[in-house]
Structure 1
Amino acid sequence: MKMMKYLANLIAGVCLIFNLILVSSQPLFVDCGSKGGKDEYGRTWVEDAKYLTSSKNSEQAGAQHHNPLLPSTLPYMNARIFKSQATYKFPKKAKERYFLRFHFYPSTFGNYDVSKSYFAVAAGEIPLMNNFSAAITCRALTQAYLVREYSLAPSDCDSLEITFTPSTNYSDTFAFVNGIELVVMPNLLGTAPMVGYRSWSVLDVATENLQTMYRVNVGGQFIPPNKDAGGLSRTWYIDDTYLNGAVQGLSIQSDKTIKIDYGNMSTATAPEDVYSTARVMGKFGKVNLQTNLTWVFRVDPNITYLVRLHFCELQFDKLNNRMFNIYLNNHSAIADPYPADILAWTNQKDVATYKDFALDLNDESGHEQIRVDLNPSAIHNPRYYNVLLNGLEIFKVSEGRSLASPNPELSDMMIQEDQVAMNKPKTFSKSSDNIVVVGATGGAAAAFVVVALLAFFYTKKRKVHRVGPHTSSWLPVYGNSNVGGSRSNSAHLSALAQGLSRHFSIAEIKQATNNFDESNVIGVGGFGKVYKGVINGGTKVAIKRSNPSSEQGINEFQTEIEMLSKLRHKHLVSLIGFCEDGGEMCLVYDYMALGTFREHIYNNKKSNLSWKKRLEICIGAARGLHYLHTGAQYTIIHRDVKTTNILLDEKWVAKVSDFGLSKTGPDMNQGHVSTVVKGSFGYLDPEYFRRQQLTEKSDVYSFGVVLFEALCARPALNPSLPKEQVSLADWALSCHKKGTLDDIIDPHLKDKIDPECLKKFAGTAVKCLSDQGIDRPHMGDVLWNLEFALQLQETADSSGSSGDQGSVRSRDASVRNPRESGNLSVGSEHELNESKDDSVIFSQLVNPTGR
């Protein structure tokens, strides 16, 4: 009997140990506030109750609103509320490093208003957050939800305690959390040489606790958690948001039949999709030598950061083909006389590797950004002057200190909006109001427009009030893009108002427009009239009022709000808010002081634009469209690209507008969306019209018409002309084929366009108008060609040679821009870069730093 009991206990013990090992080795996804289930990515979430050491003073609650930007109802639509200190205890393996992630959705849960929630979070003895407000953070960063990720150093403990503590600085406050992830992290960290200050030392990152700040797939697409390597559930974002400077580079991709070799690295280091795509510079080496390929990331000051750069040579299989310098905040990381040569690290093509660097911002007073510059090296006479980067990660390093950061400061404009909503008197000075106007109309340099404004406003405020340091911007959040449907319009828009766009009353709209006074009408479109208005005591806005007789008004109204509430980019018009009150549907935008592009091309009321200005406007619009096509989880197709939907602010910055017909969604993964044909005649893609299958190339066709409008200064359709000339697209293609394009160019541009610039620009427009979508370039290719055309024009202008046929050497027609075909051939060495022996004179594009 004793033997049987002994065996039973032994079996039970073995089973317990096996279960502990199994639980602690598998990723743990904890749904805090509900029973769990599967999310959109197929991950299984479990209930949190069994991990709470005590359920006293905590409760579960459901969200009152569902924001369409949430990637999944799990874990965001339910929360665990803590009215006093509470602790989760999770089993884990000793001496293992773990990813710890928290999910926060600042909605209203039951009777709990999350705007009143302030709390601290600690992992064991490690402070992760202090006096943290998810509502303020999401509001300041214009995000619907927040994911905070930490990498916890190995310890001897076989459990991890996560403690939530409501702040003592406020009364009636509480802590909350929607979801927690605990994922075993392989041994991916070691040591990193210090760059700049303390450059003589090496940081042992493997023993440090980290906070993930940025994780970027350079030159590639968004990678969701379920597509990450090693089952680590990381999210990789596109790099377009962080590109800075005149040079945007080219995205390249390896042959899909080639498998990436990880060598001695763990395959969990980064997904193959990271190493199989990259960003390089243009093909003209002498231009590349004078510029940098630059990314800028906003971070907290006075902290040490780990910067990991991922590399994989996709094009060359010999040394000394591509050598380049790497600078972090203008400090040399790898640079002359020993520049980077990826093949010297990997010995062969298509082999992945990475380089870690530690950057200390403690000595750089007030430095709140990390700038990464790549620049070709010429010191060893490489065959091509170019650079390459595949991926980038930035981590905050604790170095024995807290990882907590202050909450970000709301901009003055946001504070004013709050005061208006609460009917409080304004307390801002006249100078403060002026700042609001600039902030509302000026835009910013990337999708994180509000973050850039926060930095500007906050720097000014800190000089006066000496408040604490500005917290960093967090990972950009791209929510789902499920447009349309039969949801309740009112409930849906109320959800969107939660921190994404302002909900105006009809009284506010009437006050802003002087009761829709006809003298304030600045435009009329299919949706209705557009009025100039003033809000917040001085901020100019454009207010689009729905025409009640418009059958598509409601759908376009909802689509416009869905699109613009979650999109932030310098070259997309910004939606401030909306009104669905008193039987009215109104949309409130930033005021574009200079009107539409069309008005400046062939409207006698406006002065004629220079060719260079037209090029810059086309480039800005192309950047906005390129962001729509590649910058979100799903492709967004504008579907109504035309010169009246390209608006200009007071600084001539082009912004794409009018998203009422836009389409998006997971169906685009099939390459097209089958849909009823909509758009504007004269701009419609003929393939889309025939097959009723919408693709991103439909926007490219429409943009090709825009390019010829800019060049020829005539409408897309002009019925008063002879039959063969009615359609600008058809007439321009015909003239280009016959070699008579010069005859239809805007007379105001005569002798003012460099011949090589014209050749590049017209060739790009012609490719856009190809009858078959497969023959058209991607918008990124169009953008590169237009930027190159601008370089050619600026070079000619600087040498005083515009319009002189003999002043710029004609290039061999066989030497084509590799992007004109719509794809960059990875194996073609000549197409990557101009040979050093070619002599083409270019002006210096920017004043480079970091060299």
Structure 2
Amino acid sequence: MMRGGTIRLLIWVSSAFCLIFGSLGFDPVDNFLIDCGSSTNQTVSNRVFLADGSYSAVLSPPQKIIAKINSNSNSNSSSSIDSAVFQTALIFTEASSYTFPISKQGRHWVRLYFSPFVHNSYNMSQAKFSVSAQTFTLLKDYQIEGGFIIKEYILNVTSSSLVLTFTPSSNSFAFVNALEVVLLPDELIPEGARAIGSKETEQSLSQLALETVWRVNMGNKTVSPQNDTLWRFWDSDYSYLKYEGVATYVSKPEAVKFSASPTKYIAPSSVYGTATMLDTTKETRMNANLTWNFDVEHGFKYLVRFHFCDMMSKPADTVIFKVFINDLSVSDSLDLKNLTSNVLGRPYFMDVIMRASDNPTMNISVGPYSTDGAYIYPITFLNGLEIMKISNSRSSLDVSLSNSSKMKLGVIVGLTVGVFLAIVLAIVLFLFYRRRGQAHAIHSKTEDVMANAEEGKDTNGTAMFSASKIGYRFPLAAIQEATENFSENLLIGVGGFGKVYKGVLRDNTKVAVKRGAPQSKQGVAEFRTEIEMLSQFRHRHLVSLIGYCDEKDELIIIYEYMENGSLKNHLYSSDLPRLSWRKRLEICVGAAKGLHYLHTSSEKTIIHRDVKSANILLDENLMVKVADFGLSKTGPEIDQTHVSTAVKGSFGYLDPEYLTRQQLTEKSDVYSFGVVMFEVLCGRPVIDPSLPREEVSLVEWAMKRHQNGQLEEIVDPRLAGQVKPDTLRKFGDVAAKCLAERGVDRPSVGDVLWNLEFVLQLEGNEGRSDHASHVNDLETSTVSAAELSMGSVGDIAGVSMSKVFAQMVREEMR
């Protein structure tokens, strides 16, 4: 999912490079494409990204550091997708500016490409910097968690040049992989638009900057850049649709009839020719709304563009419906036939400016029109949607600047209120304890326990963790209350460390509680490692630590609760709804993002060391989180190639090089992930003694079939008819590379992520209907904790060294 203010095009940028401006009828006079940090031009499908040196006259100061991904990574990445412009980066150790000569004043796109990697002493995931253009702040103290990101801005250039400045934050540096500055068609962005939810009825946009936050095509269809005249990517609306059960999808791009306005520059026929439509096959749905949810950054106004095109109504049909943003009406009666002169297939778009709000979610709804309580035949649909953030009064598009003044005021108010409350509380406590003097001895003992907790000490006062690094320490009594004194009815998993229970805290937060068993061989070492590791991480694809307890010889770790358990259970359990092929690909992508963050987010690589399907968990929305860091290790020093350590992990997933030489590297995680990929494809355990001898080992069986070109014979039978041949071939190639005997021959997790995103793009959207069925099954079925228990499908007896908790989630992602 994309965060507000960011277009996460990821693998789709490879498709963007395939555009030929002239052949599509758009040839901008300002068209700067730069492969930053490269010493040679990169010709990518007739688009030429010029070497950074070609722009030396406009880069000031000219000093720069050119960073390149090592040749091994290059080969793995470029073999499958054309990611040439991501192979290099320009690193700025001081404020530096590009100055672009502008031939024609007007709206220009500024696209910034970021793909962090490690080069010498520069770990780009740790870069922190700001970017400005003209008088606008585009990014402020920005830091990329990982993955591949494109930021897209729209600026109205009213001078003969455009200056783009990169400024490193204190004690840090800046970087960029590629950038574009391209003139836009005049009609694309309006001078102003109607404002809703504010005192203004109209607002001018001529002096403001925009940032594309969401660009979505309805109809459950992704539109790739090569199908858009202006090389835009349009994401499918499926994952944003709130109630999929009330929707049906229509695709008739051949019915679209462009006129003088709007032109194909506003949106291509592949957008106007698809729609998500209210399903009226059931009468109970005739008064429902179609609603999509989008994350946005509060405190900003947004330009929201609706795209409509009636492709299927009859002459006698009425096409009038209501349009809402959140609880505000955009139109009570949008008469589409009247607006398009009753021409079937003629596109129409509508721009409105949404007021600034503190709501982090924007809900877009269309619903049937009614009069006097009677519903006219409810032809209700939407073809496309764009949401663009508008720069604020500080000429900023960055949320940190937007909230700075509010934060200052909040600090002042907070301090004032805090002092007042502290005085009142002190008086109340004084009176309370004066009346409860007889409980002084008990009270003193409690104070000692809490003091130790704040200092990260055990019950004897011995320090285990730094209080500045570790989260909340829970009293044992609170955990016993949350788990009904570790009731077996709340047991959701058993692993090498101990049992895992579902718990509910007093504020109704669901948690997973992992309680160390007294006889556990992993014990204190794994307990300490997992807490220290998890305390460093905050990533949407890594499970979050909530707290811990080390009271009365107990070793307990508390995590967020994952509603849908483990990937392993969903692959093997016949009692759970099946995962579609597309959903399996999305899960692989999410897990790869989590591992990529571990490998690149700190000075030293964090090696997970126990990557397996049981440690890949799914929340209530089937979003992926990698779990169980009890065996994790920090990677080698800069002058070392590996970490020498005793072999730990799970049988069937172990890197053979690590197993035989006891030399651990991040490529050991890559090997384990390759095993998971074949699990996902085949839907069977890594070791299954019940099968014929040649099929007992999943890795040996799958690799042999891959080498013989027989992958289609080992695909999970439940995926019959879902997997495209080219997708299957590419997915198998990536998994096979991960399973190379020598670590040096395996791709990095970053390269695996690139390739998986490419596979997902190849797959398209056909598999999403299966996913919808899966979600509906999850929503309508009742699955007990025991059924979702990781213990229901155990590892081979005695070989799993860390089987974690299952079914953990919280209502909001971190």
Q: Where on the TM-score scale, by shorter chain, does this alignment land: which range?
A: 0.5 to 0.7
1:723-802 pair list within 5 angstroms: 779-780=767-768
Distance 1:791 1:585 in 2: 32
Whether the 8 Å CA contact 2:112–2:150 is kept in 1: the answer is yes
Distance 2:251 2:96 in 1: 48
Q: Does 1:547 align with 2:542?
A: no
Q: Does 1:144 align with 2:136?
A: no
**Correspondence for 1:223:** 223
**Correspondence for 2:265:** 268
Q: Deviations over 1:339-377 (max 9, x none)?
A: 44355435211111111110012xx3x311211011112
**Correspondence for 2:161:** 159
Distance 2:388 2:543 in 1: 22
Q: Deviations over 1:254-303 (max 9, x none)?
A: 0x544532442232111211111111121336322343211111111111
Secondary structure (helix, strand or coil) at the match of 1:280 reads strand
**Correspondence for 1:654:** none
Whether the 8 Å CA contact 1:122–1:164 is kept in 2: the answer is yes
AA partner of residue 238 (structure 1): S
**Correspondence for 2:36:** 32
**Correspondence for 1:81:** 91
CA separation of 1:784/1:46 partners in 2, compared to 1, >3 Å: closer, same or farther? Answer: closer
CA separation of 1:272/1:79 partners in 2, compared to 1, >3 Å: closer, same or farther? Answer: same
Whether the 8 Å CA contact 1:100–1:149 is kept in 2: the answer is yes
AA partner of residue 239 (structure 1): D
Distance 1:145 1:384 in 2: 45
Q: Does 1:174 align with 2:173?
A: yes
Distance 1:327 1:299 in 2: 16
- Displacement of 1:535 in angstroms is 3.9
CA separation of 1:333/1:236 partners in 2, compared to 1, >3 Å: closer, same or farther? Answer: same
Q: Deviations over 1:423-460 (max 9, x none)?
A: 9984111369999996899xxxxxxx966999999xxx
AA partner of residue 146 (structure 1): I
AA partner of residue 399 (structure 2): S
- Displacement of 1:395 in angstroms is 0.6
- Displacement of 1:239 in angstroms is 1.5
Distance 2:679 2:344 in 1: 36
Distance 2:104 2:685 in 1: 62
- Displacement of 1:789 in angstroms is 10
Secondary structure (helix, strand or coil) at the match of 2:340 reads helix
Secondary structure (helix, strand or coil) at the match of 2:85 reads helix
- Displacement of 1:115 in angstroms is 3.8
**Correspondence for 1:396:** 389
**Correspondence for 1:132:** 142
AA partner of residue 177 (structure 1): V
- Displacement of 1:158 in angstroms is 1.4
CA separation of 1:80/1:265 partners in 2, compared to 1, >3 Å: closer, same or farther? Answer: same
- Displacement of 1:396 in angstroms is 0.8
CA separation of 1:451/1:684 partners in 2, compared to 1, >3 Å: closer, same or farther? Answer: closer
Secondary structure (helix, strand or coil) at the match of 1:307 reads strand
- Displacement of 1:121 in angstroms is 1.4
**Paired residue for 1:371, among 363, 367, 372?**
363
**Correspondence for 1:350:** 345
- Displacement of 1:175 in angstroms is 1.7
Distance 1:367 1:662 in 2: 49
Q: Does 1:427 align with 2:420?
A: no
- Displacement of 1:74 in angstroms is 2.9
Q: Deviations over 1:790-813 (max 9, x none)?
A: 99999xxxxxxxxxxxxxxxxxxx
Distance 2:135 2:362 in 1: 29
**Correspondence for 2:276:** 279
Whether the 8 Å CA contact 1:311–1:342 is kept in 2: the answer is no
AA partner of residue 377 (structure 1): Y
AA partner of residue 137 (structure 2): P
Whether the 8 Å CA contact 2:275–2:383 is kept in 1: the answer is yes
Distance 2:350 2:263 in 1: 14
Alignment: residue pair count: 514
**Correspondence for 1:197:** 198
CA separation of 1:103/1:505 partners in 2, compared to 1, >3 Å: closer, same or farther? Answer: closer
Secondary structure (helix, strand or coil) at the match of 2:284 reads helix
Q: TM (normalized to structure 1)?
A: 0.50
CA separation of 1:26/1:503 partners in 2, compared to 1, >3 Å: closer, same or farther? Answer: same
CA separation of 1:202/1:147 partners in 2, compared to 1, >3 Å: closer, same or farther? Answer: same
Cα root mean square deviation, aligned: 5.7
Whether the 8 Å CA contact 2:212–2:388 is kept in 1: the answer is yes
1:309-388 pair list within 5 angstroms: 309-318=306-315, 320-335=317-332, 338-342=333-337, 344-361=339-356, 364=357, 366-379=358-371, 384-388=377-381
Distance 2:132 2:59 in 1: 15
Q: Deviations over 1:320-340 (max 9, x none)?
A: 4332211101100011xx344
AA partner of residue 193 (structure 1): R
Distance 1:235 1:117 in 2: 27
**Paired residue for 1:292, among 264, 289, 294?**
289
Secondary structure (helix, strand or coil) at the match of 1:244 reads coil
Whether the 8 Å CA contact 1:319–1:341 is kept in 2: the answer is no
Distance 1:250 1:674 in 2: 38
CA separation of 1:245/1:662 partners in 2, compared to 1, >3 Å: closer, same or farther? Answer: farther
CA separation of 1:274/1:582 partners in 2, compared to 1, >3 Å: closer, same or farther? Answer: closer
**Correspondence for 1:304:** 301
AA partner of residue 52 (structure 1): V
Q: TM (normalized to structure 2)?
A: 0.52
Secondary structure (helix, strand or coil) at the match of 2:650 reads strand
**Paired residue for 2:60, among 36, 42, 54?**
54
Whether the 8 Å CA contact 1:103–1:146 is kept in 2: the answer is yes
Distance 2:716 2:263 in 1: 54
CA separation of 1:787/1:225 partners in 2, compared to 1, >3 Å: closer, same or farther? Answer: closer
CA separation of 1:407/1:123 partners in 2, compared to 1, >3 Å: closer, same or farther? Answer: closer
- Displacement of 1:159 in angstroms is 1.2
**Correspondence for 2:108:** 98
1:213-252 pair list within 5 angstroms: 213-229=213-229, 232-245=230-243, 247=245, 249-252=247-250
Q: Deviations over 1:636-683 (max 9, x none)?
A: 996546999xxxxxxxxxxxxx999999xxxxxxxxx98533337865
| Identical counterparts, % of pairs | 21
Distance 2:151 2:90 in 1: 17
Q: Deviations over 1:461-516 (max 9, x none)?
A: xxxxxxxxxxxxxxxxx9xx9999xxxxx9xx98994469x97658x659x99xx9
CA separation of 1:237/1:318 partners in 2, compared to 1, >3 Å: closer, same or farther? Answer: same
Name stretches of at least 5 consecutive residues in structure 2 with no aligned partner. 1-25, 404-464, 480-502, 514-537, 547-581, 618-625, 633-647, 657-663, 687-697, 729-764, 783-814
Whether the 8 Å CA contact 2:392–2:402 is kept in 1: the answer is no
1:102-113 pair list within 5 angstroms: 102-113=112-123
Whether the 8 Å CA contact 1:242–1:297 is kept in 2: the answer is yes
- Displacement of 1:31 in angstroms is 1.1
Secondary structure (helix, strand or coil) at the match of 1:356 reads strand
CA separation of 1:687/1:241 partners in 2, compared to 1, >3 Å: closer, same or farther? Answer: closer
Distance 1:89 1:642 in 2: 56
CA separation of 1:126/1:348 partners in 2, compared to 1, >3 Å: closer, same or farther? Answer: same
AA partner of residue 285 (structure 2): N
AA partner of residue 222 (structure 1): T
**Correspondence for 2:714:** 679
Whether the 8 Å CA contact 2:223–2:233 is kept in 1: the answer is yes
Distance 1:89 1:405 in 2: 26
- Range with bigger deviation, 35-44 or 784-793: 784-793
CA separation of 1:30/1:257 partners in 2, compared to 1, >3 Å: closer, same or farther? Answer: same
Name stretches of at least 5 consecutive residues in structure 1 with no aligned partner. 1-21, 410-421, 442-448, 458-477, 485-489, 523-530, 538-542, 555-576, 590-627, 629-635, 645-657, 664-672, 697-776, 795-851
- Displacement of 1:383 in angstroms is 5.3
Secondary structure (helix, strand or coil) at the match of 1:274 reads helix
Distance 2:73 2:304 in 1: 36
AA partner of residue 352 (structure 2): F
Whether the 8 Å CA contact 1:26–1:183 is kept in 2: the answer is yes
